[in-house]
Structure 1
Amino acid sequence: MNQLPPIPDTIARDWLASFLDFLAKERRYSRYTVRNYRQAFEDFWRWIESAKLARGDDTFAALTARDVRDFVIESQARFDRKTLHNHVSGLRAFYRYWMRQGRLAANPFTSVPLPKVEKRLPKFLTEEQMRRLLNGPMLLLENETIDPFMAWRDRLAMELLYGGGLRVSELAALNYGDIDFESGVARVLGKGNKERLCPLGRVAMAVLNKFRADFAQGKTPGSPVLETKGGARITVREVQLLLKRYLALADLPLEISPHKLRHSYATHLLNAGADLRLVQELLGHASLSTTQVYTHVSVARLRDIYKKAHPRAT
């Protein structure tokens, strides 16, 4: 695979570095968002050079709405629609930043037309599939395939993802001091460094208490809840890999990610009648529209209930 050439040092220093620093330190964006916005900028700069639109320090001020429309059109051959939307969002933010700094006067990305993104319904596991998945570590323990530490740690990881609706990055960052063991509620630092309270549920707390008593005695409030056998904080990648092991054991699709357990959490809450705004708060979504996508996956179940319960349904 050919490695793309780096952008010029002067561009990286004079235009990109300050913008990325602002995103990370002032806006408190996740490192993934900062990385994606950096990649969006680098791709945009390479396009500028290929289109022979570079004009030294005046390059970004000289670009017109027509220029960025051409960029969007040509980018559709390189990126899917969702990625393109994310890239344009990052480039809009880049222009807004430098306009606030007084270095640019206009934002050509403000009204650039974008192709519509198909709304994909989130994939999730049924309640029966979740039971099969969560039973996996105990099955391997009974068969003496793994040791007790690994079995209970792996089960705890999945119970917290599903019972608390945590993002995998939030799970990996969770410390004992973040959890109120009396109330069974975790204080989680989510996207944008926004705190929220996550009830973990009776089962997840029972597993956590068992794990703590058997394998984590003497841990301090700053100790990670999930560790490797060597005592290091578990990584996001390690959680992804352990999940694949139990998906295979439960004969479930291996493409199911830790985030799909969060989808399952939200869907099962709504199926049971939870209020949409409450689910929004539990998930830490800034916008209700982000949470509303989960209502679509509950429609089929609602139809079934209606048909069975309403005298005029059939």
Structure 2
Amino acid sequence: MPEHIPYLEAFIAHLRLERRVSDYTVRNYSAAVGNFVKWLEAAGKWKDDFGVVRPVMVRSFLVEQGRRIARRTLHNHVSGLRAFYRYLREQGVVEANPFTGVTLPKLEKPLPKFLSEAQMTQLLNAPLTLWKDGKLGEFEAFRDSLILELLYGGGLRVSELCGLTHGDVDPGQGVARVMGKGRKQRLCPLGPVATQCLKTFIRRFELSADLKDFVICHRNGKPMQPREIQKLLKKHLAAAELPLDMTPHKLRHSFATHMLDHGADLRAVQELLGHANLSTTQVYTHVSVARLKEAHKQAHPRA
């Protein structure tokens, strides 16, 4: 990335403080700006002035980038550059946004991967089975069991799970107040099994459960990080002899798919997942339809 890019630091501050986007989005957007400036420099078109960029230059940039990076990455970069130029316009730095209305190659929408209900049961049983077999400590087994139950029972993102404090959870009502994307709060029913798992965990290990303490933690009370949860999930997938490419987010896919399979309303699932747009949730209906069609193909005499 070029050493100094005008307005980039201010743009990053705008993203963090005003738009309150995730650190992941901040990294992606700043990398997109740096990559674009690097391309402008190599093309001899950079003079510390973003106003020189015209749509024809943007098209040349996109054609060249399209040969180098994946479509989804290209879409993410353009989103970042469009947001950057929108910010520059608001500040009066440029008169137009050259990334408005650009045509991008369509993204393929693969159906989300998920575990079947039987597979999910195998996974949920894995931590306590390892403990009974002497392959996992007692604290870790009950904590890992709680992690899996909350991810699946509440459909939580792993970042939401890691940020959950005892003050956010009402075991009596079986709900949690979750801080989602864009710092938007929502109430998540956890289900009786996950709620009982939480009560058992607190009681068994005599946790103080101070309202500011994190629910998911190490023995010393230190909160767990998303990467640690991804790692322990792999361990339990292996123990349950399940596909190792499953991630915490795919447990969320499993939650949504199973809800719809059992007749849940699409808008209710949208609210439970914290999706801003219904179209994001609709992909799970495609999963359910695909499964119905496969069942028809396997069983119907005219299929």
The TM-score bracket by the shorter chain reads over 0.9
Instruction: Tell me, in whole angstroms, the C-alpha distance in 2 between the residues paired with 1:63 and 1:181.
Output: 56
Q: What corresponds to 2:39 in structure 1?
A: 47
Instruction: Tell me, in whole angstroms, the C-alpha distance in 1 between the residues paired with 2:256 and 2:44.
Output: 48
CA RMSD in angstroms, aligned pairs only: 1.9
Aligned residue identity for 2:170? D
Q: Deviations over 1:167-222 (max 9, x none)?
A: 00001111000011111000000000000111001110111110011125222100
Q: Does 1:134 align with 2:124?
A: yes
Q: CA deviation at 1:306?
A: 7.6
Give the conservation status (yes or no) of the 8 Å contact 1:276–1:292: yes
SS in 2 for 1:198: strand
Aligned residue identity for 1:79? I
Aligned residue identity for 2:84? F
Alignment length (residue pairs): 303
Q: What corresponds to 1:274 in structure 2?
A: 264
- Given candidates 224, 229, 240, the residue that maps to 1:250 is 240
Q: CA deviation at 1:45?
A: 1.2
After TM superposition, the structure 1 = structure 2 runs for residues 50-199 of structure 1, keeping only pairs within 5 Å, are 50-56=42-48, 58=49, 60-199=50-189
Instruction: Tell me, in whole angstroms, the C-alpha distance in 2 between the residues paired with 1:107 and 1:150.
Output: 52
Give the conservation status (yes or no) of the 8 Å contact 1:271–1:301: no
Give the conservation status (yes or no) of the 8 Å contact 2:259–2:269: yes
Give the conservation status (yes or no) of the 8 Å contact 2:174–2:191: yes
Q: What corresponds to 2:3 in structure 1?
A: 8
Query: Where in structure 2 are there 5+ consecutive unaligned residues?
Result: none
Instruction: Tell me, in whole angstroms, the C-alpha distance in 2 between the residues paired with 1:93 and 1:119.
Output: 24
% same residue: 55
Q: CA deviation at 1:230?
A: 2.8
Instruction: Tell me, in whole angstroms, the C-alpha distance in 1 between the residues paired with 2:123 and 2:295.
Output: 26
Give the conservation status (yes or no) of the 8 Å contact 2:158–2:248: yes
Query: Where in structure 1 are there 5+ consecutive unaligned residues?
Result: 1-5
Instruction: Tell me, in whole angstroms, the C-alpha distance in 2 between the residues paired with 1:219 and 1:291.
Output: 34
Q: Does 1:19 align with 2:16?
A: no
Instruction: Tell me, in whole angstroms, the C-alpha distance in 1 between the residues paired with 2:163 and 2:234.
Output: 20
Q: Does 1:28 align with 2:20?
A: yes
Give the conservation status (yes or no) of the 8 Å contact 2:214–2:221: no
After TM superposition, the structure 1 = structure 2 runs for residues 172-251 of structure 1, keeping only pairs within 5 Å, are 172-251=162-241
- Given candidates 289, 292, 311, the residue that maps to 2:282 is 292
Give the conservation status (yes or no) of the 8 Å contact 2:86–2:97: yes
- CA distance 1:216–1:45, change in 2 (3 Å): farther
Q: CA deviation at 1:258?
A: 0.5
Q: CA deviation at 1:231?
A: 2.1
Aligned residue identity for 1:273? G
Instruction: Tell me, in whole angstroms, the C-alpha distance in 2 between the residues paired with 1:250 and 1:270.
Output: 25
Aligned residue identity for 1:8? E
Q: Deviations over 1:139-194 (max 9, x none)?
A: 10110111110000001111100000000000111100001111100000000000
- CA distance 1:93–1:151, change in 2 (3 Å): same
Instruction: Tell me, in whole angstroms, the C-alpha distance in 1 between the residues paired with 2:290 and 2:53.
Output: 48
Instruction: Tell me, in whole angstroms, the C-alpha distance in 2 between the residues paired with 1:55 and 1:48.
Output: 9
Q: What corresponds to 1:3 in structure 2?
A: none
- CA distance 1:35–1:171, change in 2 (3 Å): same
